[in-house]
Amino acid sequence: MIKVKRQWSKVFALTGVAAIAAFGVAACGSSSSSSSGGQEGGSITTIHTKAPDYLDPQLAYTVDAWTAEYNTYIPLLTFAHAAGSAGTQVIPGLAESLPKVTDGGKTYTFTLHKGLKFSDGTAVKASDFQTTLQRLFKVDSGGSPFFTNIVGAADFSAGKANSISGIKTDDNTGQIEIDLVKPDGAFEFELAIPFTAMVPPDTPDKDQTPNPPPSTGPYQIIDNNPGHEWTLQRNPQWAKNNEKILSNLPTPHLDKIVEQVNPNQASGTAQVEQNKADLLYDPPPTDQLGAVQSKYGDRFKPEITVSTYYFWMNTQSTTAAATRTPSAT
């Protein structure tokens, strides 16, 4: 998974491919495949060592949160559901295709898929994109700086305008046009981050983590106990409606995924060993790794992830050079 930081000018980034480990009852490692050899239905329990910061798509900014939202909140564009570097490819999500880019790279035009519905049965409209982006600024999201290059976004954020003028939508045709102040080669990647995943226009402009908004993906988030446990359950509108429209996204096999938080990796490892949980996202503790690989080789699966590591460097140090006083002779 890609971890994005907003203050690019202040960091030195080193990008590479890292190996992590998934330890489970079976080599599933994905919420879109069953732990029982591909059979439909059933549920699994997974262990995270960290709780999501939020489960509100406009606020969530951690890997654990984005893992929960990967199959729940789908933006206009999304990242391919694939392992390793293939998962960094931007593909159409709720949009019919990748955008048409004009005006020297400053105008992006999308067409929203027709007939989409949120998990509560509400129709998804093109104008929901504008209200969602405006909500991003209203809740003072950490992701809002990614989108200040949209014409009118800065004025809206400052309270000088009632809407973001650079976003134009047509609910009849499904067209969404986004005008930028200046070209941005990373804009498609930024649109694929869950910050822009559309929510119903009546979603309150405050943190909805305790009761996450209706979703558009294969799953919806239910029974959330912030900091401790949350559950992904099949979105009833997916099989009825969205699955046929969003055919480029995989359909899951599980009915339910119970996501638990256990910061103790040793305890989490024991839960999987004793079949009290099905998957541990983080690797077992270093001192247990060899034993786990030896004893549970058929249940331990390394995964390759694309990772970005950051090193903050102080380029304006004011520390004075130490002076040395000669000793008396």
- The per-residue pLDDT for range 178-220, each reduced to its tens digit, is 999 999 999 999 999 999 999 999 999 999 999 999 999 999 9
Q: Name residue, tokens 């949160």.
A: 65
Range of the domain at 136: 56-206
Model confidence at 25: pLDDT above 70? no
Contacts of residue 316, defined as CB under 8 A and 6 or more positions apart, other chains included, come to none
For 104-122, what is each residue's pLDDT tens digit? 999 999 999 999 999 999 9
Percent share of the chain, pLDDT over 70: 83
pTM equals: 0.81
* Residue 68 within a domain: yes
The tokens of 304 are what? 């390759």
CA–CA dist 198, 134 (Å, integer)? 11
* Residue 67 within a domain: yes
* Residue 146 within a domain: yes
* Residue 109 within a domain: yes
Confidence label for 22 from pLDDT (cuts 50, 70 and 90): low
Q: Residue 86: its pLDDT value, please?
A: 85
* Residue 155 within a domain: yes
CA–CA dist 57, 55 (Å, integer)? 6
Contacts of residue 245, defined as CB under 8 A and 6 or more positions apart, other chains included, come to 113, 114, 115, 116
Please tell me the total count of domains within the chain. Answer: 1
DSSP secondary-structure letter at 209?
Answer: T
* Residue 171 within a domain: yes
Pair 176, 164: CB distance under 8 Å? no
Pair 140, 206: CB distance under 8 Å? no
- Between CA 311 and CA 8, with CA 184 as vertex, the angle to 5 degrees is 15
| Backbone φ, ψ for residue 327 (5° rounding) | -80, 155
Mean pLDDT computed over 249-272: 92
| Backbone φ, ψ for residue 87 (5° rounding) | -75, -5
Mean pLDDT computed over 145-169: 97
* Residue 121 within a domain: yes
* Residue 140 within a domain: yes
CATH number at residue 80: 3.40.190.10
Q: Residue 162: its pLDDT value, please?
A: 97
Q: Which residue has the higher pLDDT, 294 or 319?
A: 294
| Helix (H/G/I), strand (E/B), else coil: 34 | coil
